């Protein structure tokens, strides 16, 4: 009776969740696990957002909001985008979604016909593959190579395009590599998107978590791109609001209208008091200062982890300039990424995510997140050093 339908056959569970479950079992047994698997900021949501949202609840913002999102909230998002060099009309060009996750689903589901191909540079966030499968599309991997510092190889991109290619997904900065695509690479990708008439879905959820002053530009800013790009962003990462579930899409009016068809039946709207709370606080100086402090703290944690890992010769990595991840090649340790992750957790109680969860071709890698305390980072690196030593 409840046999799984065909469109769910290739949909899998998130590898991060699987690691979390094993980690919880160890914690229940009394072990202190170092959480390098984590995919969310280890910071509290800025105080002013919490207070403003409580006030919105007291002021009874508890009814349905418009499907697109409340006008005030969309205006605030429009200003946020403007600060990033992007101009979208809050009335017609912005759609508020239940986190980045719904935004990706809406974008993919709204524009794929059965059999349409979507090129995704990999390793990548797992939602793309699974959402494309649910929409009946075909996920086409464009493997990024550590030798190219995980930048897009333009020749390989051209070769991946077929008459069925409909969309290209760009995640910049990237989960799981932390790499930021250079403006030059993006410019070339943009030219190809224009030449082959592709939709570009641009997941920019980590765009404010960048280091060393590395520029992170939106592909929508290149010539001919605004009309073919769906910009996706959200509050989970850069506002430390993962549990609030707030994301958004920005695109030309007709594109938003099509995605609105999906959104209205998937989720209707996000909680009205959250929209009101954010609209009245997210652009304040206090909120911006909290966010800057978070990025500065991430920068210190990143330095600490990279310094620690670079003292273990069996581990190799490209320096991440954005997000809070490092994608580490562990193959010189004598085991592959999955064995490394499993044994590191079981034997030393350090949780990392096996690279295979982000691409079948990333079996040599594991993903570390530095969204944890400096004390955990120090202790975690020491446990890893001993673990790698035990493999020799």
In the complex, which residues of this chain contact ligand PLP (CB under 6 A)?
A: 39, 99-101, 125, 171, 175, 203, 205, 234, 236, 242, 247
> Smaller CB distance to ligand PLP: residue 239 or 317?
239
Phi, psi of 19 (to 5 degrees): -65, -40
For β-strands 350-351 and 34-35, DSSP reports them as parallel
> Smaller CB distance to ligand PLP: residue 369 or 376?
369
> Smaller CB distance to ligand PLP: residue 14 or 361?
14
- CB 244, min distance to ligand PLP, A: 9
For β-strands 365-369 and 353-354, DSSP reports them as antiparallel
> Smaller CB distance to ligand PLP: residue 41 or 137?
41
Phi, psi of 350 (to 5 degrees): -120, 125
For β-strands 247-250 and 138-143, DSSP reports them as unpaired
> Smaller CB distance to ligand PLP: residue 98 or 330?
98
- CB 343, min distance to ligand PLP, A: 25
- CB 173, min distance to ligand PLP, A: 9
**Alpha carbons 78 and 87: distance in angstroms, whole number:** 7
> Smaller CB distance to ligand PLP: residue 39 or 277?
39
**Alpha carbons 140 and 117: distance in angstroms, whole number:** 6
- CB 209, min distance to ligand PLP, A: 11
**Alpha carbons 329 and 317: distance in angstroms, whole number:** 6
- CB 390, min distance to ligand PLP, A: 32
- CB 169, min distance to ligand PLP, A: 10
> Smaller CB distance to ligand PLP: residue 123 or 247?
247
Angle, CA 388 vertex, CA 385 and CA 392 arms, to 5°: 135
- CB 203, min distance to ligand PLP, A: 5
> Smaller CB distance to ligand PLP: residue 100 or 137?
100
* Residue-by-residue DSSP string for 34-52: EETT--S-SSPPPHHHHHH
H or E stretch at 308? helix 285-309
> Smaller CB distance to ligand PLP: residue 175 or 275?
175
- CB 66, min distance to ligand PLP, A: 20
**Alpha carbons 155 and 350: distance in angstroms, whole number:** 39
Q: What is the CA radius of gyration of the chain?
A: 21
296's CB contacts (< 8 A; 6+ apart) are: none
Q: How far apart are the first and last CA of the chain?
A: 52
185: nearest Cα among 150, 209, 234: 150
Do 172 and 180 form a contact (C-beta atoms < 8 A)? yes
- CB 102, min distance to ligand PLP, A: 7
- CB 140, min distance to ligand PLP, A: 18
H or E stretch at 190? helix 183-195
> Smaller CB distance to ligand PLP: residue 100 or 121?
100
360: nearest Cα among 15, 7, 4: 15
Give CA torsion, residues 11, 15, 18, 24, to 10 deg: -150
């Amino acid at each position: 009776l409840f046999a799984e339908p065909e469109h769910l056959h290739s949909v899998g569970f998130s590898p991060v969740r699987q690691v979390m479950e094993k980690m919880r079992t160890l914690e229940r047994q009394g072990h202190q696990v170092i959480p390098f698997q984590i995919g969310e900021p280890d910071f509290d949501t800025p105080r002013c957002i919490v207070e403003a949202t409580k006030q919105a609840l007291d002021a009874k913002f508890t009814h349905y909001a418009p499907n697109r999102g409340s006008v005030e909230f969309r205006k605030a998002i429009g200003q946020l985008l403007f600060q990033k060099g992007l101009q979208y009309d809050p009335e017609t060009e912005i759609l508020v979604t239940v986190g980045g996750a719904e935004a990706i689903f809406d974008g993919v589901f709204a524009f794929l016909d059965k059999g349409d191909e979507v090129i995704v540079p990999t390793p990548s966030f797992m939602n793309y593959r699974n959402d494309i499968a649910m929409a009946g599309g075909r996920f086409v991997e464009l493997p990024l190579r550590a030798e190219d510092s995980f930048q897009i190889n333009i020749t390989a991109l051209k070769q991946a395009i077929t008459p069925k290619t409909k969309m290209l997904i760009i995640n910049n900065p990237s989960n799981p590599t932390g790499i930021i695509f250079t403006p030059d690479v993006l410019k070339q990708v943009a030219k190809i998107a224009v030449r082959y008439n592709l939709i570009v879905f641009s997941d920019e959820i980590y765009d404010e978590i960048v280091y060393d002053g590395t520029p992170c530009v939106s592909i929508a800013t290149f010539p001919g791109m605004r009309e073919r790009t769906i910009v996706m962003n959200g509050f989970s990462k850069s506002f430390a609001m993962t549990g609030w579930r707030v994301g958004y899409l920005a695109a030309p009016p007709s594109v938003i209208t099509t995605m609105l068809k999906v959104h209205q039946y998937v989720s209707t709207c996000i909680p009205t008091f959250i929209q009101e709370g954010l609209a009245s606080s997210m652009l304040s100086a206090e909120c911006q200062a909290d966010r800057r402090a978070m990025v500065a703290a991430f920068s210190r944690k990143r330095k600490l982890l990279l310094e620690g890992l670079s003292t273990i010769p069996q581990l190799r990595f490209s320096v991440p300039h954005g997000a809070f991840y490092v994608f580490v090649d562990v193959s010189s340790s004598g085991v592959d990424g999955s064995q490394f992750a499993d044994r590191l957790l079981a034997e030393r109680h350090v949780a990392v995510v096996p690279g295979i969860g982000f691409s079948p071709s990333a079996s040599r890698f594991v993903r570390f997140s530095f969204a944890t305390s400096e004390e955990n980072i120090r202790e975690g690196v020491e446990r890893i050093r001993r673990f790698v030593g035990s493999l020799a």
